[in-house]
Amino acid sequence: MKPKIAFFTGARSEYGSLKHILRAIIKDNTFDYSLIVSGLHLLNQFGSTINEIKKDGFEIKYVIPIFDENISPSYLEFSNAVRDISKALLEEKPDGMFIIGDRIEAYAAALAAHFTNTKIIHSGGGTLTNGAVDNIYRYNITNLTSIHITTSLNNFNRLKTLPNVEKKNIHFVGSFAIDGIVNFKENKISIKKQFSKIIPNKFCLMTFHPVTSSKEDIALIMDKTIEYLIEKNFQILITYPNNDNGYQKIINIVDKWKNHQMITVTDNLGSQYYYSALDDCAFVIGNSSSGLLEAPYFHKQVINIGTRQDGRDTDVGVSNVSCDFEKVRLALELGFNSNWKKIPNNNIFGDGNTIPKIMKILKQNFK
């Protein structure tokens, strides 16, 4: 009998990475897998991204609703998630559970695995994001994890300092997302295929998420930034936020501007068109982790605003700016003065060879 690994996905952000390891699992045929889909994937407001998973051809074993539409998560959704994921694991009896990231539903999945004596493989430990409650979830997931997959050397070394983490179980492999970027670059598609009005190199990619560990008015900064860019006659492609507390304020700003001729709004691009947007845009602005992780691999300048990503590793080309519009405006002026020149990156999240390393680790630990 082959070892069985359960894979949990709760959001578009980590599914773009997860699907690459799923494809490798299927191709290699060493393991059986069970896919558990939950969280934002099931919400219409965030693009019903379960449909992307189905389109990719993966068999979904469990669909576990957690959130209601238009409501930020609370203790009730969290406790229900732990209960329902635990039931799935007790029924499925996998040898291990693979979890990516640090959202609240990932934490619920980790607790469910812990209570059902299911070994956890976690990708994303060691990262710091001092401006988000994810920091707490990530640290707690690390404490429950048996096999630690890190995306950067700094994260790897940070985990090694924790007294309750076995050093032999910490691995630096890089980010799955870079494997996806390498694959995309071998067969590029243009963002114009999805949005015909967008002019390549004449638009910016904008994503803002709520800031959950400070009182920054990120929605106000977003509003002023949009106004500034429109005055510059520059197109903006806006992607939706996640559903952390305070997301509705950002949605309100999106709704305010969504009908302007210079604005294009999408609730979900999917990984391939997201890479198209990164490839074709002039620059990236907002406070999303993708601006720090993926955008540098397209040699884009990035304006990272506020404290949400404080502590996270940053490559060259990323400008960290406080949540002050005058500072943001100055950073934008510098970028426009440079004609948004491309910036070579240092590959701090790996070289696109993550999947073979993951497969080797899984085979060593599940026989």
Give mean pLDDT, residues 78-85. 93
Give mean pLDDT, residues 254-264. 97
Pairing relationship of beta strands 62-64 and 301-305 according to DSSP bridges: unpaired
Residue 136 lies in a domain: yes
- In this structure, the answer to whether residues 164 and 23 fall within a common structural domain is yes
Q: In what order do the strands lie in the sheet with 203-207?
A: 263-266, 235-239, 203-207, 283-286, 301-305, 318-321
> What pLDDT, on a 0 to 100 scale, did the predictor assign at position 136?
85
- In this structure, the answer to whether residues 320 and 242 fall within a common structural domain is yes
Pairing relationship of beta strands 96-100 and 32-38 according to DSSP bridges: unpaired
Token reading at 28: 């290699």
> What pLDDT, on a 0 to 100 scale, did the predictor assign at position 12?
84
Work out the burial of residue 97: count CB atoms within 10 Å of its CB; fewer than 13 is exposed, 13-18 middle, 19 or more buried. Answer: buried
- In this structure, the answer to whether residues 10 and 147 fall within a common structural domain is yes
- In this structure, the answer to whether residues 200 and 141 fall within a common structural domain is no
Main-chain dihedrals φ then ψ at residue 204, nearest 5 degrees: -115, 155
> What pLDDT, on a 0 to 100 scale, did the predictor assign at position 366?
94
- In this structure, the answer to whether residues 169 and 189 fall within a common structural domain is no
Residue 317 lies in a domain: yes
Residue 345 lies in a domain: no
Cβ-contact 109, 97 below 8 angstroms? yes
DSSP state of 156: H
Residue 342 lies in a domain: no
Q: Among 99-103, 127-131, 217-221, which range has the highest average pLDDT?
A: 217-221
Q: Using only C-alpha atoms, what is the Rg of the chain?
A: 20
Query: Where is average pLDDT lowest: 35-44, 81-90, 91-100?
Result: 35-44
Main-chain dihedrals φ then ψ at residue 37, nearest 5 degrees: -115, 135
- In this structure, the answer to whether residues 119 and 197 fall within a common structural domain is no
Q: How many domains does the chain contain in total?
A: 2
Contacts of 20 (CB under 8 A, 6+ apart): 176, 179, 180, 183, 354, 355
How far apart are alpha carbons 331 and 316 in whole angstroms? 15
Residue 321 lies in a domain: yes
Q: Is 217 left (phi over 0), alpha (psi -120 to 50) or beta?
A: beta
* pLDDT score of 203 more than 70: yes
Range of the domain at 35: 4-175+350-365
Contacts of 324 (CB under 8 A, 6+ apart): 221
What residues are paired with 149 via a beta bridge? Answer: 123, 171
- In this structure, the answer to whether residues 240 and 268 fall within a common structural domain is yes
> What pLDDT, on a 0 to 100 scale, did the predictor assign at position 17?
84
* pLDDT score of 324 more than 70: yes
Give mean pLDDT, residues 181-197. 94
- In this structure, the answer to whether residues 154 and 194 fall within a common structural domain is no
Residue 41 lies in a domain: yes
- In this structure, the answer to whether residues 162 and 213 fall within a common structural domain is no
Residue 315 lies in a domain: yes
CATH number for the domain harbouring residue 191: 3.40.50.2000
Number of Cα atoms under 13 Å in the Cβ half of residue 232: 19
How far apart are alpha carbons 262 and 259 in whole angstroms? 8
Over the chain, what is the mean pLDDT?
93
How far apart are alpha carbons 346 and 339 in whole angstroms? 22
- In this structure, the answer to whether residues 147 and 220 fall within a common structural domain is no
Residue 194 lies in a domain: yes
> What pLDDT, on a 0 to 100 scale, did the predictor assign at position 271?
85
pTM to 2 decimal places: 0.85
- In this structure, the answer to whether residues 54 and 157 fall within a common structural domain is yes
Q: In what order do the strands lie in the sheet with 32-38?
A: 62-64, 32-38, 4-9, 96-100, 119-123, 147-150, 170-172
> What pLDDT, on a 0 to 100 scale, did the predictor assign at position 73?
67
- In this structure, the answer to whether residues 106 and 31 fall within a common structural domain is yes
